[in-house]
Every structure is written in C-alpha cells, then in structure tokens.
Amino acid sequence: MIDADPKTKERTRAAAGIASDALKGDVRLRNAAVRRNGRWSGYTHLLVARLKEMQREPEVIFWVFLFPLLLAFGLGIAFRSRPASISSLAIAAGPRAKATLEMVQQSSRPLHAQIVDEAEAVNGFRLGRYDLVVIPNNSGNFEYRYDPARPESVLARAEADDALQSAAGRTNPLPTSARASSEPGARYIDFLIPGLLGMNLMNSGMWGVGFALVDMRQRKLLKRFVATPMRRSDFLLALTSSRLLLMIVEVGLLLGFGIFAFHMRVAGSWVAIVLLGALGAATFGGLGLLTASRAQKIESVSGLINLVMMPMWIFSGVFFSYERFPAVVHPFIRALPLTALNDALRATILEGAPLAAQAGRLAVLVAWAAISFFLALAWFRWT
C-alpha cells in the first residue's frame, strides 16, 4: 500500500481539524440556545404573539374598551339625577269633577290633573297615559283606580289621596321634615360602574380566550404546536394571561370615565381594585379555556360560552341587585364567580373595604380559577 505524500496528510489533518472545530461550534451554539430558551421562553413567545394578534384585530379595541364606555354613558344618562317625575291624574267628568280638580291643585305636591270622560280616563290609564284615575261619587267619596304593580301608579294614589285629604281639612298630628340626599356613592351610576367592570372582565376573558382557541383549532394552527417541545400548560397559560395585560387598561378606562363623567368616588385602594381585576380576568380566562377545550367549531363554542354566561348576566347583579330574587337562591347566586367579583369590586370601590375583609369572595374566585384551569388542562386537545 502506497503512503500519501506529506502534503496530502497535512491537508487531511487540517480538514479534520476544521470539521472538529465546526462540530464544537455547533455544540456551543446549541448549548447557548438552550441557555437562552429557558423554562418560560415558550410561554413568553406565545404571550407576545397573542398580544400582537390582538393588535391586528380592530374589533377587540371596540368591544373591550369602547363598548363598556358607551354602555356606561348611555345608562348613566338614562338614570342620571333629575327632578322627580310628576304624577298624571285623570279625573272622571261629573258634577264634582271641577271641585275635585281645585282640591288637587291646592296641594303643595306637583300633580298634573285634568278632567276627562270616565271611559276615556279608564282607557288612557290602561294604555299608560295616566298614572291614576280619580272618580268622584255623588256621596262625597272618591274612588281610585290604580295598578299596584306599577310603582308610579302607587305613588300617584298616595299623592292624590294626601292632596284631597289635606284640602278637606285633615292635619298631620306629628310635625316632620325632609331633606333630599343624592350624593356620589348612593346613585345608580355608582352601583352600575363596578357591575359593568365585572361584566366586561367576564366577556373579554371568556370570548377573548375561548373564541381564539377554537379559531386556532379550526384553522389547523394547533396541529403545528404538537411537534414542538412546548408544554401544553405554557400554551394555555399564555392565552389566559394575555387578558391580564388588557385588564389594567379596562379598569383604568372604565373607572376613569366614571370619575370624570359622573363624578364617581373611589373609596378603596387602586392596588386592591387592580388585584381584584387580575383575579377576575384569570377566573374567566380559565372558564373560557374550559368551554373551548374540546369545541371544534365557532358555533359550538359560542353556544357554550353563552350558556355559561347567561345565568351570571341575569343573577349576578350587574344592572340591579340580586337581593330582589328569593332568599332561598341567594347562596347559589353568591357562589357564581361574577357575583363574587361584582360584590368585591363594589365593596372596595364604594365602601373602601380592604381585601382582607373579603376572604369569602376571593376564595370563590380562586376556586373557580383553579378548578377551571386544571380541568381545561386535563381535557384540552390539540385537534
């Protein structure tokens, strides 16, 4: 066998050295990549990608930020502080109708009364044009026709009876005085803003997470994640926590609007309000994951989300107090996550209650958040 010349051997050794150095360089690059892509790198990249996706969806800006402000403005204007409405009375025509009208007009209360035919008065009352029908009898008595289910009709009956009794010479044996009170904190808008804040956190959490998850599954985007070393928990956690960043803007916009537009007072700590908002966003983000963990189509997840949210829209006291429902269902209503969030927000914003005094409501939110997230993690599938 013929040995290679020295130059060939030298070139061979040089090539082997270069290959060895290249291999070592690749190993160093892989090690550096491992060090750079640590435990939470997948979660971080997914979170950033999700935020960029939301920036490219202009409808998110409207439904998450502008719609709650428009709703608060509309309801605040509708239920703003304004003079009390004047009761409308219809006096049935007859021999004593004119005298009855003069007795009503002597009252210090603002009453709008007019004489009309009895049939027309009854029909107008039925259609809502009059709050009360007064029918003077020939014997000197009065008959009231009112609807006990209509608050304005009950009020008109009391005011008309007081006016007629006073005009007939009745005096009050006990002197009294009254003082009007309509301060910030006791108005309907003060009750409404925390409820809208809780409702918005529920809507954005469930729709923003559940809808996005099913949309990615329907477009076959989730299949691409199966071949990656990314953890399933990182993916679901990134979807949920993307709502936490938007939550800060939601809370600031809605409360700021209430303060500047309706002179609303915030009695509690802003830090406590932000923490409650974060917990609420995490809770409803977890519920959004759970409802979308196995849904295949947008129609399916839309029905599931509406099914979950409908009881909370009705019972959780967004627009009116749930105390109006029978007392037997109050424990079930308080166990709903939106009820606990609304009660905690109102206690903090309107009463200045610290978080330590709301352990029960916080426990309800934490339980819903933990259970829904772990169930979603167990039931979730990529396809």
CATH topology assigned to domain 87-167: abc type-2 transporter like fold (3.40.1710)
Q: CA angle at residue 152 from 151 to 157, to 5 degrees?
A: 100
What is the separation of C-alpha 124 from the centre of its chain, rounded to a whole number of angstroms?
Answer: 39
**Token pair 């290679």: residue:** 4
The set of residues, in sequence order, having a beta carbon less than 8 Å from that of 215 and lying 6+ positions away, is: 298
CA distances from 361 to 204, 269, 276, 308 (A): 21, 17, 10, 19
**Token pair 């070139």: residue:** 11
Strand extents, DSSP E, the chain: 87-92, 111-116, 132-136, 142-145
Give pLDDT tens digits for 155-183: 888 888 888 888 877 777 777 666 655 55
pLDDT number for residue 278: 87
| Percent over 90 (pLDDT), the chain | 10
pTM above the 0.75 mark?
A: no
Beta bridge partners of 114: 90
State the average pLDDT over residues 179-196: 73
On average, the pLDDT of the chain sits at: 78
Region for 134 from its dihedrals, namely left if φ exceeds 0, alpha if ψ lies in -120 to 50, beta otherwise: beta
What single letter denotes the amino acid at residue 59? Answer: E
Sheet holding 132-136, edge to edge: 111-116, 87-92, 132-136, 142-145
Domain ranges of the chain: 87-167, 184-379
C-beta atoms surrounding 370 within 10 Å: 13
The H or E element that residue 164 is part of is helix 151-167
Between 354 and 59, the higher pLDDT residue: 354
